């Protein structure tokens, strides 16, 4: 498990090659030891590494295998996160209808979680999840609706803020910078992104730097 968790340090450092190598080693060790849950989690992380590396088809295929494996093990808790990876990969690849299908599935999972929250506390979350906001933002940016993209990227950054890993916040802010035209507002987002990267020890990927011309 420790090796699997170390992958996120390499992702934050922008070293996707090292992350991929480590996950391949985790997969081998998990298979040898019969650790099926660990192997499924490693595949989920590998799907995210593939997406970040621009390998969108691989991200989808590996992500769906991870979801199937986790379901067989009776561990659906990671499904929303992996669906988020798949949905973003599909959106980034321009597979709009399939990305929208992933959105529907994530929203259904969130809705079922809201029902559980309401039953337990009398309250339910009202904001969209970070996964939904990220996919909606990517779709809006691809169709040229920069205003909607900026709104969704802002929602994604806010939804992910406070989570254990700031990598998703940084990625949302990269998208917000790229979709913001007004110089003063853009500079403010760059400052926010710089702060998040410093706090989380995050190094932006080359394609992210190119997207915001850093």
Residues 109-135 have pLDDT tens digits of 988 865 444 444 444 444 689 999 999
CA distance 85 to 66: 11
Residue 162 is predicted with a pLDDT of 77
Residues of the chain with pLDDT under 70: 1-5, 76, 113-127, 164, 214
Whole-angstrom distance, CA of residue 195 vs CA of residue 61: 34
pLDDT of residue 120: 47
Residue 4 has a pLDDT of 59
- DSSP-assigned letter for residue 122: S
DSSP string, 27-74: HHHHHHHT-HHHHHHHHHHHHHHHHHTT-HHHHHHHHHHHHHHHHHTT
Per-residue pLDDT, 77: 72
What is the C-alpha to C-alpha distance for residues 113 and 119, in angstroms, rounded to an integer? 10
Q: Which two tokens stand for residue 19?
A: 């992350």
């Amino acid at each position: 498990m420790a090796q699997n968790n170390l992958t996120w340090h390499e992702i934050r450092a922008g070293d996707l090659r090292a992350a991929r190598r480590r996950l391949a080693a985790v997969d081998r060790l998990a298979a040898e030891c019969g650790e099926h849950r660990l192997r499924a989690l490693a595949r989920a992380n590998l799907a995210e590494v593939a997406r970040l590396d621009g390998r969108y088809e691989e991200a989808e295929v590996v992500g769906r295998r991870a979801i199937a494996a986790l379901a067989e093990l009776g561990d659906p808790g990671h499904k929303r996160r992996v669906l988020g990876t798949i949905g973003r990969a599909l959106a980034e690849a321009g597979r709009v209808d399939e990305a929208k299908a992933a959105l529907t599935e994530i929203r259904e999972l969130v809705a079922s979680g809201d029902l559980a929250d309401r039953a337990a506390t009398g309250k339910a979350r009202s904001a969209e999840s970070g996964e939904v906001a990220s996919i909606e933002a990517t779709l809006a940016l691809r169709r040229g609706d920069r205003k909607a993209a900026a709104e969704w990227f802002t929602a994604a950054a806010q939804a992910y803020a406070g989570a254990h890993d700031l990598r998703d916040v940084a990625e949302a802010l990269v998208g917000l910078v790229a979709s913001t035209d007004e110089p003063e507002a853009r500079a403010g987002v760059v400052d926010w992104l710089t702060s998040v990267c410093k706090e989380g020890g995050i190094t932006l990927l080359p394609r992210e730097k190119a997207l915001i011309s850093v």
